[in-house]
Structures are given as structure tokens and as C-alpha cells.
Amino acid sequence: MPWAPFNGSLEGARIDRLLLYNLIAFAIVFALAQVWIIVVMLRRKPRGNGLPAALRWAMIAVFGVLYIWTGIAAQRLWANSQFAGPAPEAMQVEVTGAQFQWYFRYPGTDATFGAVRSQLVDAASGNPLGLDPADPASKDDVVSSLLVLPAGREVDLRLRSLDVIHGLFIPGMRLKENAVPGMILHVHFTPQTPGTYSILCSQVCGLGHARMQARLLVVPEKQFTEWLGVREHLRQAGLAGGVSRP
């Protein structure tokens, strides 16, 4: 699609197609209606009493069908992505928004996210999420400021916010969901095409809103395993709770 950033997700293609159909349909209606207005302005000599009622209702019926079609088509997409959860084997990554930074946490070899405590949040000393060292499950959690995902595997994002409402927006994955403090929200998608994609904040969150951005790196499975292995290793080597820079 020339009008939008390159789509790299499995689900995005259908969204793009539906959006394109919508834009074409409504652009045609827009043009016809504007032509109608111009034509009636040019018709200096009055004739008739307006359209017959039957024709009016026929036009309304056409629009009714258009709305029902778009409604059903869109609901099917929505139901596919939202009514069913991710596959059980989907990869788990936690995304946390904080003024004005995105953090991505991988659960580590135990496949369990360790406990976090707000009282322990301290970005300056390297524990931006407040990982609780007393919880054994947190010992192997990897926290990154870069989101790296393997191509072709479904991902289940676990969305949180520490402070205010943020909006996780990955245009190249056609994905958006707010990160709301006090709630844990899940969205799932399948990145397909390897490459670099931008991650933005789409909900005004304070003075740094426009620079609250991060990168998504979609890489082949093998490269992903290597990357995560290195992070795990650094983590075990005692880099306590820290954000591993890419």
C-alpha cells in the first residue's frame, strides 16, 4: 500500500485490503455528492420539486446495504483478532510504558514473568520496572529497550503502564492498543517480514509524548534465539535487573 508504512504482519494484509475497499467506496460517494452540489448550483432554471420519494428511499437503501456490508466485514476481522486469544504456543513478551520510554520484558527460561513492585521502580539504578529480586521467577527476566521478535511466530503482548495511559502503536504491524496503568491488556499478532519497524506512543502522555518511540526488529528465528541467549547470559552474569541495551 503506497499510502501506509510497509505492512510486515500476517493480520495487516486483511486490514489493508478492507481499508482500501472502504477508502475507494467512500471516495466515490464523496466525489458524486460534491458533483451533485456543483450541478445544482449551476442549474439556474428551477424544475420539479426535488427527487421523488421513491428514489430517495432507494438511495437510502443503497447506503443501508453499504453500511451493513462494511459493518459485517469489519466485525469479522475484529472478532478474529480480539474474540479469540493467541495460540497457546505464542511467544510472551511484556510491554511496559513509562514517561517517556517503552520497555520490553522477556520471561526467560522459566517462561514466567517475575513479580514487579512499584516501590522498587528506579530507572536510574537500572531497575525501571521494579523487578522484585526476592522472586526467583524474576531472576532470568530480560528487560530490553528494543523489541526483537522472530519472524513467523505469533506473539502475545502483555501491555502495562507504570504511570499514565500510553498507546502502543506499531504502524508496520497495523497494531494499536493502549497501555493503561492498573490493567494488564493482551494483544496478539504475527510478525512475518524481517525488518525494522517503528514503535510509537499514540496517546498523549506528557511533554515527551512525541519522542516516546522504540524499534521493533523482526529477525529470523535462529537470529532471535541467539540474541535472546546473549541477553540471558548477561542477565545470569549478574547485570541486576538492568535494561540491556541492544
Partner 1 sequence: MRKLFTTDHRSLGVLYLLLSLAAVATGTLLSLLMRVHRIWPDTPLPLLGLMKPEDYLALVTMHGTLMVFFVLTVAPQNGFASLVLPGQIGARHMAFPRLNAISFWLMALAFTILISAFALPSGAPLSGWASYPPLSAIASAGPGQGTGMDLWLLSIGIFCVAAWLGAVNLLATILGERGAGMTWSRLPLTVWAWLTTSILTLLVFSVLLAAAVLLFSDRHFGSSFFVPLNDVVNGHVVGRGDGSPLLWLHLFWFFGHPEVYIAILPGMGLATSLFANFTRRRVAGYKVMAAMLVAIGGLGLLVWGHHMFVSGMNPYAGTAFALTTMAIAVPSTVEVIGWLSTLWGGGLRLTTPMLFALGFLSFFIAGGLTGPILAQPALDTYLHNTFFVVAHFHLIMAMAGVFSVFAGIYYWFPLMTGRMMNDLLGKLHFWISLIAAYGTFLPMHISGLAGEPRHYERLAGPVVSFSEILPNERGITWSAILLGAAQLLFLWNLFASAKRGERATENPWQATTLEWAPEIPRRRIERGPYEYENGGTESMFRPQWESASKQE
Window 215-244: residues binding partner 1 (CB under 8 A): 215
145 binds partner 1 (CB under 8 A): no
43 or 222: whose CB is closer to partner 1? 43
177 binds partner 1 (CB under 8 A): yes
Applying CB under 8 A, the site for partner 1 has a residue count of 92
Least Å distance, CB 27 to partner 1, is 8
Q: Are 14 and 196 in contact (CB under 8 A)?
A: no
198 binds partner 1 (CB under 8 A): yes
95 binds partner 1 (CB under 8 A): no
Q: Are 242 and 126 in contact (CB under 8 A)?
A: yes
User: How far apart (Å, rounded) are the C-alpha atoms in residues 222 and 217?
Assistant: 14
Residues of span 115-134 touching partner 1 by CB under 8 A: 117-119, 121-123, 130
Cell of 28: 466515490
With contacts defined by CB under 8 A, name the span among 18-26, 103-111, 132-140, 226-234 that binds partner 1.
Answer: 18-26
246 binds partner 1 (CB under 8 A): no
Least Å distance, CB 237 to partner 1, is 28
Distance of CA 132 to the CA centre of its chain: 28
User: How far apart (Å, rounded) are the C-alpha atoms in residues 75 and 71?
Assistant: 6
With contacts defined by CB under 8 A, name the span among 36-44, 148-156, 219-227, 236-244 that binds partner 1.
Answer: 36-44
Residues of span 58-77 touching partner 1 by CB under 8 A: 59-60, 63-64, 66-68, 70-71, 73-75, 77
Q: Which long-range contacts (CB under 8 A, 24 or more apart) does 162-166 make?
A: 162/96, 162/97, 162/98, 162/118, 162/121, 162/129, 163/97, 163/98, 163/99, 164/99, 164/205, 164/206, 165/203, 165/205, 166/97, 166/102, 166/201, 166/203, 166/205, 166/212
Least Å distance, CB 8 to partner 1, is 13
Element (H, E) at 221: helix 221-236
What is the x/- site pattern for partner 1, positions 96-115, by CB under 8 A?
--xx----------------
